[in-house]
Chain A
Protein backbone atom coordinates (compact mmCIF):
# COMPACT_ATOMS: atom_id res chain seq x y z
CA UNK A 1 0.00 0.00 0.00
CA UNK A 2 1.49 3.31 -1.03
CA UNK A 3 1.77 6.20 1.39
CA UNK A 4 -0.79 8.13 -0.64
CA UNK A 5 -3.48 5.44 -0.41
CA UNK A 6 -2.71 5.18 3.29
CA UNK A 7 -3.22 8.91 3.75
CA UNK A 8 -6.40 8.89 1.64
CA UNK A 9 -7.87 5.98 3.60
CA UNK A 10 -7.07 7.63 6.90
CA UNK A 11 -8.52 10.98 5.83
CA UNK A 12 -11.82 9.18 5.28
CA UNK A 13 -11.82 8.62 9.02
CA UNK A 14 -10.80 12.20 9.67
CA UNK A 15 -14.38 13.32 9.00
CA UNK A 16 -15.56 11.08 11.81
CA UNK A 17 -12.82 12.40 14.07
CA UNK A 18 -14.02 15.93 13.30
CA UNK A 19 -17.61 14.90 14.02
CA UNK A 20 -16.64 13.77 17.52
CA UNK A 21 -14.61 16.92 18.05
CA UNK A 22 -17.20 19.50 17.00
CA UNK A 23 -20.24 17.76 18.47
CA UNK A 24 -18.44 17.29 21.78
CA UNK A 25 -17.57 20.98 21.95
CA UNK A 26 -21.09 21.95 20.88
CA UNK A 27 -22.64 20.04 23.78
CA UNK A 28 -19.97 20.16 26.48
CA UNK A 29 -19.26 23.91 26.46
CA UNK A 30 -22.84 24.92 27.42
CA UNK A 31 -23.36 21.83 29.57
CA UNK A 32 -20.21 22.70 31.50
CA UNK A 33 -21.67 26.12 32.32
CA UNK A 34 -24.87 24.53 33.64
CA UNK A 35 -22.85 22.14 35.78
CA UNK A 36 -20.63 24.96 37.05
CA UNK A 37 -23.60 27.10 38.06
CA UNK A 38 -25.29 24.17 39.80
CA UNK A 39 -22.01 23.30 41.48
CA UNK A 40 -21.94 26.85 42.92
CA UNK A 41 -25.60 26.68 43.89
CA UNK A 42 -26.47 27.78 47.43
CA UNK A 43 -28.42 24.55 47.92
CA UNK A 44 -26.12 22.09 49.65
CA UNK A 45 -27.88 19.14 48.03
CA UNK A 46 -27.52 20.35 44.46
CA UNK A 47 -23.94 21.43 44.88
CA UNK A 48 -22.90 18.14 46.48
CA UNK A 49 -24.64 16.14 43.76
CA UNK A 50 -22.72 18.11 41.17
CA UNK A 51 -19.54 17.72 43.12
CA UNK A 52 -20.03 13.96 43.10
CA UNK A 53 -20.81 14.00 39.38
CA UNK A 54 -17.59 15.88 38.69
CA UNK A 55 -15.40 13.66 40.85
CA UNK A 56 -16.76 10.53 39.14
CA UNK A 57 -16.21 11.90 35.64
CA UNK A 58 -12.79 13.29 36.39
CA UNK A 59 -11.80 10.34 38.53
CA UNK A 60 -12.47 7.53 36.06
CA UNK A 61 -10.84 6.97 32.67
CA UNK A 62 -12.67 8.31 29.64
CA UNK A 63 -12.18 4.91 28.06
CA UNK A 64 -14.26 3.26 30.79
CA UNK A 65 -16.94 5.93 30.42
CA UNK A 66 -17.08 5.23 26.70
CA UNK A 67 -17.54 1.53 27.37
CA UNK A 68 -20.16 2.23 30.03
CA UNK A 69 -22.22 4.52 27.80
CA UNK A 70 -21.99 2.20 24.78
CA UNK A 71 -22.39 -1.23 26.34
CA UNK A 72 -23.76 -0.37 29.79
CA UNK A 73 -27.41 -0.14 28.71
CA UNK A 74 -27.14 -3.56 27.06
CA UNK A 75 -25.58 -5.25 30.09
CA UNK A 76 -27.90 -3.54 32.57
CA UNK A 77 -31.24 -3.55 30.77
CA UNK A 78 -30.67 -5.70 27.70
CA UNK A 79 -31.11 -2.63 25.51
CA UNK A 80 -29.92 -2.68 21.91
CA UNK A 81 -26.35 -1.57 21.31
CA UNK A 82 -26.39 1.52 19.10
CA UNK A 83 -25.52 0.82 15.47
CA UNK A 84 -24.44 4.39 14.97
CA UNK A 85 -21.58 4.58 17.44
CA UNK A 86 -21.34 8.37 17.07
CA UNK A 87 -24.28 8.79 19.48
CA UNK A 88 -22.80 7.00 22.54
CA UNK A 89 -19.35 8.35 21.72
CA UNK A 90 -20.54 11.97 21.69
CA UNK A 91 -22.64 11.46 24.83
CA UNK A 92 -19.65 10.06 26.72
CA UNK A 93 -17.26 12.72 25.47
CA UNK A 94 -19.70 15.59 26.09
CA UNK A 95 -20.43 14.54 29.66
CA UNK A 96 -16.78 13.97 30.43
CA UNK A 97 -15.61 17.25 28.99
CA UNK A 98 -18.50 19.13 30.61
CA UNK A 99 -17.09 18.09 33.99
CA UNK A 100 -13.68 19.55 33.14
CA UNK A 101 -15.13 22.71 31.61
CA UNK A 102 -17.38 23.16 34.66
CA UNK A 103 -14.37 23.34 36.94
CA UNK A 104 -12.61 25.78 34.62
CA UNK A 105 -15.74 27.99 34.53
CA UNK A 106 -16.06 27.82 38.29
CA UNK A 107 -12.46 28.89 38.75
CA UNK A 108 -13.05 31.79 36.39
CA UNK A 109 -16.28 32.91 38.00
CA UNK A 110 -14.88 32.72 41.52
CA UNK A 111 -11.85 34.76 40.53
CA UNK A 112 -14.04 37.85 40.00
CA UNK A 113 -13.88 40.06 43.14
CA UNK A 114 -17.07 40.37 45.21
CA UNK A 115 -16.76 44.14 44.94
CA UNK A 116 -17.92 43.98 41.34
CA UNK A 117 -21.18 42.29 42.34
CA UNK A 118 -21.72 44.93 45.00
CA UNK A 119 -20.98 47.74 42.57
CA UNK A 120 -23.38 46.23 40.02
CA UNK A 121 -26.08 45.99 42.66
CA UNK A 122 -25.62 49.65 43.56
CA UNK A 123 -25.89 50.54 39.89
CA UNK A 124 -29.21 48.71 39.76
CA UNK A 125 -28.20 45.66 37.69
CA UNK A 126 -30.30 42.58 38.17
CA UNK A 127 -28.49 39.34 39.08
CA UNK A 128 -28.89 38.01 35.56
CA UNK A 129 -27.65 41.25 34.02
CA UNK A 130 -24.66 41.32 36.36
CA UNK A 131 -23.67 37.84 35.33
CA UNK A 132 -24.21 38.23 31.60
CA UNK A 133 -22.83 41.75 31.14
CA UNK A 134 -20.15 42.12 33.78
CA UNK A 135 -18.99 38.76 35.07
CA UNK A 136 -19.16 36.45 32.06
CA UNK A 137 -17.16 38.63 29.63
CA UNK A 138 -14.30 38.80 32.12
CA UNK A 139 -14.55 35.11 32.89
CA UNK A 140 -14.30 34.16 29.23
CA UNK A 141 -11.15 36.22 28.85
CA UNK A 142 -9.55 34.65 31.86
CA UNK A 143 -10.39 31.03 31.20
CA UNK A 144 -9.57 30.97 27.50
CA UNK A 145 -6.03 29.52 27.90
CA UNK A 146 -7.36 26.70 30.11
CA UNK A 147 -10.16 25.99 27.66
CA UNK A 148 -7.64 25.84 24.81
CA UNK A 149 -5.78 23.23 26.84
CA UNK A 150 -8.86 21.05 27.05
CA UNK A 151 -9.73 21.53 23.40
CA UNK A 152 -6.26 20.43 22.36
CA UNK A 153 -6.58 17.38 24.59
CA UNK A 154 -9.96 16.63 23.05
CA UNK A 155 -8.44 16.42 19.58
CA UNK A 156 -6.12 13.67 20.78
CA UNK A 157 -8.74 11.96 22.94
CA UNK A 158 -10.95 11.36 19.90
CA UNK A 159 -8.66 8.39 19.19
CA UNK A 160 -10.20 6.67 22.21
CA UNK A 161 -13.43 6.16 20.28
CA UNK A 162 -11.61 3.13 18.92
CA UNK A 163 -12.41 1.27 22.10
CA UNK A 164 -16.08 1.08 21.06
CA UNK A 165 -15.25 0.29 17.43
CA UNK A 166 -16.10 3.73 16.06
CA UNK A 167 -14.20 3.84 12.79
CA UNK A 168 -12.46 7.19 13.17
CA UNK A 169 -9.07 8.08 11.78
CA UNK A 170 -6.93 6.34 14.37
CA UNK A 171 -9.01 3.15 14.19
CA UNK A 172 -8.45 3.00 10.45
CA UNK A 173 -4.77 3.73 11.01
CA UNK A 174 -4.52 0.78 13.39
CA UNK A 175 -6.23 -1.50 10.89
CA UNK A 176 -3.82 -0.48 8.14
CA UNK A 177 -0.86 -0.86 10.48
CA UNK A 178 -2.02 -4.36 11.27
CA UNK A 179 -2.68 -5.54 7.77
CA UNK A 180 0.41 -3.93 6.28
CA UNK A 181 2.63 -4.61 9.32
CA UNK A 182 3.83 -1.07 8.95
CA UNK A 183 4.44 1.67 11.46
CA UNK A 184 3.74 4.34 8.88
CA UNK A 185 0.01 4.81 9.70
CA UNK A 186 0.95 5.89 13.21
CA UNK A 187 3.31 8.49 11.81
CA UNK A 188 0.54 9.69 9.49
CA UNK A 189 -1.89 9.80 12.44
CA UNK A 190 0.64 11.82 14.44
CA UNK A 191 0.96 14.34 11.61
CA UNK A 192 -2.84 14.55 11.25
CA UNK A 193 -3.32 15.23 14.96
CA UNK A 194 -0.52 17.77 14.95
CA UNK A 195 -1.99 19.66 11.99
CA UNK A 196 -5.46 19.53 13.56
CA UNK A 197 -4.08 21.00 16.76
CA UNK A 198 -2.05 23.60 14.88
CA UNK A 199 -5.36 24.86 13.46
CA UNK A 200 -7.00 24.76 16.90
CA UNK A 201 -4.06 26.68 18.31
CA UNK A 202 -4.29 29.29 15.59
CA UNK A 203 -8.05 29.76 15.98
CA UNK A 204 -7.89 29.96 19.76
CA UNK A 205 -4.97 32.40 19.49
CA UNK A 206 -7.06 34.61 17.22
CA UNK A 207 -9.97 34.55 19.65
CA UNK A 208 -7.68 35.40 22.54
CA UNK A 209 -6.33 38.34 20.58
CA UNK A 210 -9.83 39.56 19.75
CA UNK A 211 -10.73 39.50 23.45
CA UNK A 212 -7.54 41.24 24.42
CA UNK A 213 -9.10 44.68 24.75
CA UNK A 214 -8.28 46.99 27.70
CA UNK A 215 -4.72 45.77 27.66
Chain B
Protein backbone atom coordinates (compact mmCIF):
# COMPACT_ATOMS: atom_id res chain seq x y z
CA UNK B 1 0.00 0.00 0.00
CA UNK B 2 2.77 2.36 1.04
CA UNK B 3 4.68 1.56 -2.15
CA UNK B 4 1.72 2.38 -4.33
CA UNK B 5 1.23 5.63 -2.48
CA UNK B 6 4.90 6.50 -2.99
CA UNK B 7 4.65 5.75 -6.67
CA UNK B 8 1.55 7.88 -7.04
CA UNK B 9 3.27 10.78 -5.32
CA UNK B 10 6.32 10.35 -7.54
CA UNK B 11 4.09 10.28 -10.60
CA UNK B 12 2.31 13.41 -9.46
CA UNK B 13 5.66 15.17 -9.01
CA UNK B 14 6.83 14.15 -12.47
CA UNK B 15 3.60 15.39 -14.01
CA UNK B 16 3.94 18.63 -12.12
CA UNK B 17 7.42 19.03 -13.59
CA UNK B 18 6.08 18.35 -17.07
CA UNK B 19 3.58 21.09 -16.54
CA UNK B 20 6.47 23.45 -15.80
CA UNK B 21 7.92 22.66 -19.20
CA UNK B 22 4.63 23.31 -20.94
CA UNK B 23 4.03 26.71 -19.46
CA UNK B 24 6.17 28.59 -21.99
CA UNK B 25 5.11 32.22 -22.04
CA UNK B 26 2.47 32.96 -24.65
CA UNK B 27 3.69 35.33 -27.34
CA UNK B 28 3.19 38.97 -26.59
CA UNK B 29 1.18 40.28 -29.50
CA UNK B 30 2.97 43.52 -30.16
CA UNK B 31 6.42 41.92 -30.19
CA UNK B 32 7.96 40.89 -33.46
CA UNK B 33 8.78 37.19 -33.47
CA UNK B 34 12.07 36.18 -34.99
CA UNK B 35 12.32 32.54 -35.91
CA UNK B 36 15.83 31.20 -35.92
CA UNK B 37 16.44 28.06 -37.94
CA UNK B 38 19.05 25.82 -36.38
CA UNK B 39 20.55 22.40 -36.72
CA UNK B 40 19.79 21.05 -33.23
CA UNK B 41 22.71 18.63 -33.46
CA UNK B 42 25.64 20.90 -34.09
CA UNK B 43 27.43 21.60 -30.84
CA UNK B 44 28.81 23.96 -29.73
CA UNK B 45 26.98 26.27 -32.18
CA UNK B 46 23.50 24.93 -31.64
CA UNK B 47 22.28 21.88 -29.82
CA UNK B 48 19.67 20.59 -27.46
CA UNK B 49 21.03 21.45 -24.03
CA UNK B 50 20.98 19.23 -20.95
CA UNK B 51 17.99 21.16 -19.65
CA UNK B 52 15.96 20.36 -22.77
CA UNK B 53 16.21 23.89 -24.20
CA UNK B 54 18.11 24.78 -27.32
CA UNK B 55 21.52 26.10 -26.47
CA UNK B 56 24.85 26.87 -28.10
CA UNK B 57 26.93 29.79 -29.23
CA UNK B 58 24.72 30.83 -32.17
CA UNK B 59 21.60 30.50 -30.04
CA UNK B 60 23.01 32.68 -27.28
CA UNK B 61 24.15 35.36 -29.72
CA UNK B 62 20.78 35.31 -31.44
CA UNK B 63 19.03 35.61 -28.09
CA UNK B 64 21.18 38.62 -27.26
CA UNK B 65 20.39 40.16 -30.68
CA UNK B 66 16.66 39.66 -30.11
CA UNK B 67 16.92 41.12 -26.61
CA UNK B 68 18.58 44.24 -27.92
CA UNK B 69 16.10 44.65 -30.79
CA UNK B 70 13.11 43.85 -28.58
CA UNK B 71 12.12 40.81 -30.61
CA UNK B 72 10.87 37.55 -29.31
CA UNK B 73 13.09 34.62 -30.26
CA UNK B 74 11.60 31.38 -31.46
CA UNK B 75 13.84 28.52 -32.39
CA UNK B 76 13.03 26.11 -35.14
CA UNK B 77 15.02 22.94 -35.68
CA UNK B 78 15.43 22.56 -39.43
CA UNK B 79 16.17 19.45 -41.40
CA UNK B 80 19.70 20.40 -42.38
CA UNK B 81 19.50 19.01 -45.91
CA UNK B 82 16.34 21.01 -46.55
CA UNK B 83 17.27 24.12 -44.62
CA UNK B 84 16.99 26.57 -47.53
CA UNK B 85 13.68 25.10 -48.67
CA UNK B 86 12.35 25.53 -45.16
CA UNK B 87 13.68 29.08 -45.10
CA UNK B 88 11.81 29.84 -48.34
CA UNK B 89 8.69 28.24 -46.91
CA UNK B 90 8.90 30.82 -44.08
CA UNK B 91 9.18 28.12 -41.47
CA UNK B 92 12.06 30.19 -40.14
CA UNK B 93 13.40 33.69 -40.79
CA UNK B 94 17.03 32.75 -41.04
CA UNK B 95 19.39 29.79 -40.94
CA UNK B 96 21.93 30.50 -38.25
CA UNK B 97 23.71 27.42 -37.05
CA UNK B 98 27.36 27.09 -37.92
CA UNK B 99 26.37 27.20 -41.58
CA UNK B 100 29.16 27.08 -44.12
CA UNK B 101 28.81 29.85 -46.69
CA UNK B 102 28.69 28.35 -50.17
CA UNK B 103 28.94 30.30 -53.41
CA UNK B 104 25.87 28.41 -54.61
CA UNK B 105 23.79 30.07 -51.88
CA UNK B 106 24.71 33.54 -53.03
CA UNK B 107 24.10 32.56 -56.66
CA UNK B 108 20.64 31.32 -55.69
CA UNK B 109 19.90 34.79 -54.35
CA UNK B 110 19.95 34.20 -50.61
CA UNK B 111 21.10 37.08 -48.48
CA UNK B 112 24.15 35.94 -46.54
CA UNK B 113 25.53 37.87 -43.60
CA UNK B 114 29.17 38.77 -43.23
CA UNK B 115 31.08 35.66 -42.13
CA UNK B 116 31.56 35.38 -38.37
CA UNK B 117 33.57 32.17 -38.06
CA UNK B 118 36.69 31.17 -39.92
CA UNK B 119 37.31 27.48 -40.22
CA UNK B 120 40.50 27.75 -42.26
CA UNK B 121 43.11 25.12 -41.46
CA UNK B 122 46.82 25.44 -42.17
CA UNK B 123 50.00 23.45 -41.78
CA UNK B 124 52.78 24.77 -39.57
CA UNK B 125 56.32 23.56 -40.28
CA UNK B 126 59.86 24.42 -39.23
CA UNK B 127 61.06 27.36 -41.27
CA UNK B 128 64.28 25.57 -42.27
CA UNK B 129 62.43 22.42 -43.40
CA UNK B 130 61.89 23.63 -46.94
CA UNK B 131 58.28 22.43 -47.06
CA UNK B 132 56.13 24.85 -49.05
CA UNK B 133 52.95 22.94 -49.76
CA UNK B 134 50.91 20.10 -48.34
CA UNK B 135 52.21 17.88 -51.15
CA UNK B 136 55.75 18.20 -49.77
CA UNK B 137 54.58 16.47 -46.63
CA UNK B 138 53.85 13.15 -48.31
CA UNK B 139 55.35 10.40 -46.20
CA UNK B 140 55.90 12.73 -43.25
CA UNK B 141 54.42 12.74 -39.75
CA UNK B 142 51.78 15.36 -39.00
CA UNK B 143 50.40 16.24 -35.57
CA UNK B 144 46.83 17.36 -34.95
CA UNK B 145 44.92 18.18 -31.80
CA UNK B 146 42.22 15.78 -30.70
CA UNK B 147 38.69 17.11 -31.06
CA UNK B 148 39.51 20.05 -33.32
CA UNK B 149 38.01 20.73 -36.72
CA UNK B 150 41.43 19.86 -38.14
CA UNK B 151 41.15 16.34 -36.79
CA UNK B 152 37.62 16.04 -38.14
CA UNK B 153 38.79 17.21 -41.58
CA UNK B 154 41.65 14.72 -41.70
CA UNK B 155 39.14 11.96 -40.97
CA UNK B 156 36.61 13.32 -43.44
CA UNK B 157 37.00 15.77 -46.30
CA UNK B 158 40.78 15.69 -46.25
CA UNK B 159 41.18 11.94 -45.78
CA UNK B 160 43.17 11.74 -49.03
CA UNK B 161 45.65 14.28 -47.73
CA UNK B 162 45.82 12.44 -44.42
CA UNK B 163 46.59 9.16 -46.14
CA UNK B 164 49.52 10.76 -47.99
CA UNK B 165 51.18 11.42 -44.62
CA UNK B 166 53.15 8.55 -43.13
CA UNK B 167 51.14 8.96 -39.95
CA UNK B 168 48.96 11.40 -38.07
CA UNK B 169 49.82 11.93 -34.42
CA UNK B 170 46.93 13.00 -32.20
CA UNK B 171 47.93 15.14 -29.24
CA UNK B 172 45.61 16.28 -26.48
CA UNK B 173 46.67 19.91 -26.63
CA UNK B 174 47.95 22.23 -29.34
CA UNK B 175 50.95 23.10 -27.17
CA UNK B 176 52.02 19.45 -27.28
CA UNK B 177 51.55 19.41 -31.06
CA UNK B 178 53.92 22.36 -31.38
CA UNK B 179 56.38 20.88 -28.87
CA UNK B 180 56.48 17.71 -30.96
CA UNK B 181 57.18 19.86 -34.02
CA UNK B 182 59.88 21.99 -32.42
CA UNK B 183 61.40 18.92 -30.80
CA UNK B 184 61.65 17.26 -34.20
CA UNK B 185 59.30 14.35 -33.57
CA UNK B 186 56.78 15.44 -36.20
CA UNK B 187 57.23 17.35 -39.46
CA UNK B 188 54.14 19.54 -39.39
CA UNK B 189 51.15 20.55 -37.27
CA UNK B 190 47.68 20.79 -38.78
CA UNK B 191 45.82 23.48 -36.92
CA UNK B 192 43.26 26.32 -37.09
CA UNK B 193 44.70 29.40 -38.76
CA UNK B 194 44.12 31.76 -35.78
CA UNK B 195 45.83 29.33 -33.39
CA UNK B 196 48.74 28.89 -35.81
CA UNK B 197 49.11 32.62 -36.34
CA UNK B 198 49.18 33.43 -32.64
CA UNK B 199 51.69 30.66 -31.86
CA UNK B 200 54.01 31.33 -34.76
CA UNK B 201 54.02 35.10 -34.20
CA UNK B 202 57.47 36.10 -32.97
CA UNK B 203 59.00 32.69 -33.58
CA UNK B 204 61.67 32.54 -36.29
CA UNK B 205 61.95 28.75 -36.28
CA UNK B 206 58.36 28.10 -37.37
CA UNK B 207 56.47 29.00 -40.53
CA UNK B 208 52.91 28.62 -41.79
CA UNK B 209 52.56 27.00 -45.20
CA UNK B 210 50.68 29.45 -47.39
CA UNK B 211 47.89 27.08 -48.37
CA UNK B 212 44.39 27.22 -46.94
CA UNK B 213 43.17 23.73 -46.33
CA UNK B 214 39.54 23.14 -45.63
CA UNK B 215 38.89 26.87 -45.91
CA UNK B 216 35.32 27.64 -44.99
CA UNK B 217 33.49 30.40 -43.23
CA UNK B 218 30.22 30.40 -41.35
CA UNK B 219 27.47 32.94 -41.93
CA UNK B 220 23.74 33.50 -41.52
CA UNK B 221 21.34 32.94 -44.42
CA UNK B 222 18.20 35.03 -45.00
CA UNK B 223 15.55 34.95 -47.72
CA UNK B 224 16.40 36.98 -50.83
CA UNK B 225 13.75 39.55 -49.87
CA UNK B 226 15.14 40.07 -46.37
CA UNK B 227 18.26 42.15 -47.00
CA UNK B 228 16.95 44.71 -44.50
CA UNK B 229 16.47 42.06 -41.81
CA UNK B 230 20.01 40.85 -42.42
CA UNK B 231 21.35 44.39 -42.02
CA UNK B 232 19.39 44.79 -38.78
CA UNK B 233 20.82 41.58 -37.36
CA UNK B 234 24.35 42.42 -38.50
CA UNK B 235 24.09 45.84 -36.86
CA UNK B 236 22.83 44.29 -33.63
CA UNK B 237 25.69 41.77 -33.63
CA UNK B 238 28.18 44.60 -34.26
CA UNK B 239 26.75 46.35 -31.23
CA UNK B 240 27.18 43.20 -29.12
CA UNK B 241 30.78 43.02 -30.28
CA UNK B 242 31.32 46.66 -29.41
CA UNK B 243 29.82 46.47 -25.92
CA UNK B 244 31.64 43.28 -25.03
CA UNK B 245 28.60 41.00 -24.73
CA UNK B 246 29.84 38.99 -27.70
CA UNK B 247 33.25 38.36 -26.15
CA UNK B 248 31.60 37.54 -22.83
CA UNK B 249 29.44 34.83 -24.39
CA UNK B 250 32.39 33.52 -26.43
CA UNK B 251 34.57 33.23 -23.35
CA UNK B 252 32.35 30.58 -21.78
CA UNK B 253 34.26 27.33 -21.32
CA UNK B 254 31.90 25.36 -23.57
CA UNK B 255 32.98 27.54 -26.50
CA UNK B 256 36.72 27.23 -25.85
CA UNK B 257 37.28 25.25 -29.04
CA UNK B 258 35.66 27.82 -31.32
CA UNK B 259 36.63 31.08 -29.65
CA UNK B 260 39.89 31.43 -31.58
CA UNK B 261 38.13 31.23 -34.93
CA UNK B 262 35.49 33.89 -34.30
CA UNK B 263 36.18 36.58 -36.86
CA UNK B 264 34.67 39.45 -34.87
CA UNK B 265 37.03 38.74 -31.96
CA UNK B 266 40.17 38.66 -34.07
CA UNK B 267 42.66 41.45 -33.70
Contact = CB atoms under 8 A, between A and B. Distances in A.
Pair from one complex = yes
Interface of A: 71, 74-75, 79-83, 162-165, 167, 171, 174-175, 178-179
A83 B146 contact: no
B176 A80 contact: no
Given A83-B141, A165-B180, A175 B170 contact: yes
A175 B183 contact: no
A80 B172 contact: no
B147 interface: yes
Contact of A71 (B152, B155, B179): B179
**Dominant secondary structure at the B interface:** mixed
B245 to A, nearest CB: 30
B155 A179 contact: yes
A167 B185 contact: no
Nearest to A174: B146
B175 to A, nearest CB: 10
Interface of B: 141, 143, 146-147, 151-152, 155, 169-172, 176, 179-180, 182-185
17 contacts: A74-B179, A80-B183, A81-B184, A81-B185, A82-B185, A83-B141, A83-B185, A162-B172, A163-B172, A164-B176, A165-B143, A165-B169, A165-B172, A165-B176, A171-B170, A174-B146, A178-B147
Given A165-B170, A174-B146, A71 B151 contact: no
A31 B179 CA distance: 31
A66 to B, nearest CB: 11
A127 to B, nearest CB: 47
A190 B182 CA distance: 35
A81 B181 CA distance: 9
Given A178-B146, A178-B147, A165 B183 contact: no
A178 B150 CA distance: 12
Nearest to B154: A179
Nearest to B155: A179
B21 to A, nearest CB: 26
